[in-house]
Amino acid sequence: MRARIAYAALVAALLPAGVGAQVVTEAEVLAALSDDSPRVRAIRSETAIARANVASAGRWPNPRLSVGRESVAGVSEAITTLLQPLPITGRRTLERDSAAALVEAGTSRADEALRRARADVRLAHADLVAAQVRERELTRSRDRLQQLAAILGRREEAGDAAGFDRLRSEREAIDVEADRAAALADRARAQGVLAAYLSAGTDPSTLVVEEPVVAARDLPPVDVLMEQAERRRGDLLALRHELASAQLALRAAERRRLPEPEIFAGTKSSTALGGDVGSVVGVQAALPLFDRGRPERALAAARAAQAEARLDALRVAVRADIAAWRAAALERRTAADRYRASALDAAAEVERIAQVSYDAGERGILELLDAYRTSASARVRQAALDASARHAEIELEFVSGWEIP
């Protein structure tokens, strides 16, 4: 709660008057991706079409009613029959199971799209954190330069400082303000990206995110991450379901070589010899002499080969992505930690020495301004390095299919 108040107070000074800050955490933005959110409903909507195909594949054929009348040599006959196809070869069940496997594939792809959306939310959150830090540091640097210019102005009036020192510090403040204006634009863009994941009507300009302290975590080896990806990545699971669907479709196509009987029953009436009514019972079947399901078998076999090839190719790509992002995460984390341990402390010490030396008359204004610039640049660069390391960790978690504890 204290952190939220601090962030709100900080950004309230930067936001226009009358605009209130809305402090959100990464967890709160992720919670906005609930099952009721429009983005999630759009992702899940595609599976409804596949479910409809399951119902279509599993339905029984309708019975057929036949009514006929024949008349010859004064004798009339009427025949009424009801014919019902009997899908006893198991082809309908296999086709239904094949369609159901496609539903599972669609659900897995929707899960993968949702995981990508969650990763994008976290990346947007990290971008806004970096933009806030950059703006804050540039604002701090500008304010210090403006204060220095004001002090030098008073010294100039008293005859204790040269006008060049005041003009040079004012020029430096103008340059920093230009950089700050660019940082404001970056923050506004990051706010807009993040607001797209929140509820409708959210004002992007009021968004403020907490700046979490993410502790360094041990990264599992590539083989462990690949095992997690095999179990959790939706695109890999979807291809497995598509392969199973194609195999079931192939088995169903092979059953087309077996005739499926049609049983019919009814009545027959005749006016011959005073007229009478009898029964009609029979069985018929289409003989698979010409259509033996060859196109269906070829299509199912091609689908199976395609799914298997895409699955093998995706496994190779996923392993490469995991190895690359793991190496990037380690390298970027090391670079950020090394810079924090050396450059930040050194920059603060250089700034302090330059200030003391300038006040003692041992150094000029250019050395002091250079120390200010170095210190501010170090803090801005540290924020960029931290954001880069965070990006690599988020992408590694996405490609491996899990959030590293």
pLDDT tens column, 322-378: 999 999 999 999 999 898 888 877 777 777 888 788 777 777 778 878 888 888 888
Q: In the prediction, which pLDDT does 1 show? A: 45
Q: In the prediction, which pLDDT does 404 show? A: 61
Cα–Cα distances in Å, from 321 out to 23, 245, 395?
34, 28, 9
Is pLDDT of 384 > 70? yes
| 327 in any annotated domain | no
Q: Are 258 and 89 in contact (CB under 8 A)?
A: yes
Q: In the prediction, which pLDDT does 18 show? A: 39
In the structure, what pLDDT confidence band is assigned to residue 308 with cuts at 50, 70 and 90?
very high
Domain CATH for 161: 1.20.1600.10
**How confident is the prediction for the chain on average, in pLDDT?**
85
Q: In the prediction, which pLDDT does 17 show? A: 38
Higher pLDDT: 36 or 60? It is 60
Is pLDDT of 6 > 50? no
- In this prediction, residues 97-111 reach a mean pLDDT of 90
In the structure, what pLDDT confidence band is assigned to residue 154 with cuts at 50, 70 and 90?
confident
- In this prediction, residues 376-399 reach a mean pLDDT of 91
| 49 in any annotated domain | yes
Q: How many domains does the chain have?
A: 1
| 231 in any annotated domain | yes
Report percent pLDDT > 90 for the chain. 35
The 3 state secondary structure assigned to the chain is CHHHHHHHHHHHCCCCCCCCCEEECHHHHHHCCCCCCHHHHHHHCHHHHHHHHHHHHHCCCCCEEEEEEEEECCEEEEEEEEEEECCCCCHHHHHHHHHHHHHHHHHHHHHHHHHHHHHHHHHHHHHHHHHHHHHHHHHHHHHHHHHHHHHHHHHHHHCCCCHHHHHHHHHHHHHHHHHHHHHHHHHHHHHHHHHCCCCCCCCHHHEEECCCCCCCCCCCCHHHHHHHHHHHCHHHHHHHHHHHHHHHHHHHHHHHHCCCEEEEEEEEEECHHHCEEEEEEEEEECCCCCCCCHHHHHHHHHHHHHHHHHHHHHHHHHHHHHHHHHHHHHHHHHHHHHHHHHHHHHHHHHHHHHHHHHHCCCCCHHHHHHHHHHHHHHHHHHHHHHHHHHHHHHHHHHHHCCCCC
In the structure, what pLDDT confidence band is assigned to residue 250 with cuts at 50, 70 and 90?
very high
| 212 in any annotated domain | yes
Report percent pLDDT > 70 for the chain. 93
Q: In the prediction, which pLDDT does 89 show? A: 87
pLDDT tens column, 10-53: 454 445 433 567 788 888 888 887 777 888 888 888 787 777 77
| 124 in any annotated domain | yes
- In this prediction, residues 195-203 reach a mean pLDDT of 79
Q: In the prediction, which pLDDT does 5 show? A: 45
Q: In the prediction, which pLDDT does 215 show? A: 66
251 HSE (CA, 13 A, CB side) = 15
Q: In the prediction, which pLDDT does 311 show? A: 95
Is pLDDT of 170 > 90? no
- In this prediction, residues 3-8 reach a mean pLDDT of 47
What is the dihedral angle through the alpha carbons of 181, 186, 189, 195, rounded to the nearest 10 degrees? Answer: -110
**The dihedral sign for the CA sequence 294, 296, 300, 306:** positive
Token pair in block for residue 153: 């102005």
Instruction: Domain of residue 75: give its range.
Output: 2-313
Is pLDDT of 182 > 60? yes
| 347 in any annotated domain | no
Token pair in block for residue 148: 């220095």
pLDDT tens column, 352-368: 888 788 777 777 778 87
Determine the Cα–Cα distance for residues 124 and 183; give it in Å rounded to an integer. Answer: 16
pLDDT tens column, 254-279: 998 888 899 999 999 888 777 788 89
In the structure, what pLDDT confidence band is assigned to residue 2 with cuts at 50, 70 and 90?
very low
| 395 in any annotated domain | no
Site of tokens 């990051």:
190
Higher pLDDT: 164 or 404? It is 164
- In this prediction, residues 81-106 reach a mean pLDDT of 90
pTM, rounded to two decimals: 0.78
| 330 in any annotated domain | no
Is pLDDT of 3 > 50? no
- In this prediction, residues 234-263 reach a mean pLDDT of 92
